[in-house]
């Protein structure tokens, strides 16, 4: 039987705030897994605002997503880097730091890496 689903990130199933009010992650649960929309405020940096929650030296999530607005720089543990902006598809392996570039909030949608992202370590 065919199905059709509609959900809104504005009424997410779960919201996880980042440290220092530097943004949030809104999660929607689907039959295919969690899909997240993250809003990263200017000044946000993974190593400052998510690392304390994750308890790892670098981001251990793999990301597959779409950059809606703003700009983000991603630097892998080996030093390779890329900058993403509006309309860009992104695929990022585990082992990286990232930060917002400029004065505009960065909004990204990710359908592989946000299920455990910014979740306090247990």
Distance CA 59, CA 118 (A): 10
How confident is the prediction for the chain on average, in pLDDT? 92
Residue 1 lies in a domain: no
The residue written with tokens 């670098």 in the block is 58
Residue 36 lies in a domain: yes
The CATH number of residue 47's host domain is 2.60.120.10
β-partners of residue 77 are none
Domain region containing 73: 14-110
Residue 121's pLDDT is 61
Q: How far is CA 121 from the centre of its chain?
A: 17
Q: Would you say 100 and 46 are in contact if contact means Cβ atoms under 8 Å apart?
A: no
Give the tokens for residue 102. Answer: 């400029």
Question: In total, how many domains does the chain have?
Answer: 1
Residue 1's pLDDT is 52
Residue 6 lies in a domain: no
> Greatest CA separation found in the chain?
48
The pTM of this model reads 0.89
Residue among 4, 3, 110, 2 nearest 59 (CA): 110
Residue 5 lies in a domain: no
In the predicted model, residues of the chain with pLDDT beneath 50 are: none
Q: What share of the chain is helix, strand, coil (3-state, %, to 5)?
A: 10, 45, 45
């Amino acid at each position: 039987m065919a199905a059709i689903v509609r959900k809104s990130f504005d009424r997410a199933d779960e919201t996880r705030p980042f440290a220092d009010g530097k943004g949030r992650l809104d999660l929607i649960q689907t039959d295919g897994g969690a899909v997240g929309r993250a809003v990263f405020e200017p000044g946000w940096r993974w190593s400052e605002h998510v690392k304390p929650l994750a308890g790892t030296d670098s981001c251990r999530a793999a990301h597959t997503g779409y950059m809606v607005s703003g700009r983000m720089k991603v630097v892998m543990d080996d030093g390779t880097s890329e900058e993403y902006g509006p309309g860009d598809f992104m695929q990022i392996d585990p082992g990286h730091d990232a930060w917002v570039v400029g004065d505009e909030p960065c909004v990204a949608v990710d359908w592989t890496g946000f299920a455990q992202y910014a979740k306090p370590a247990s």
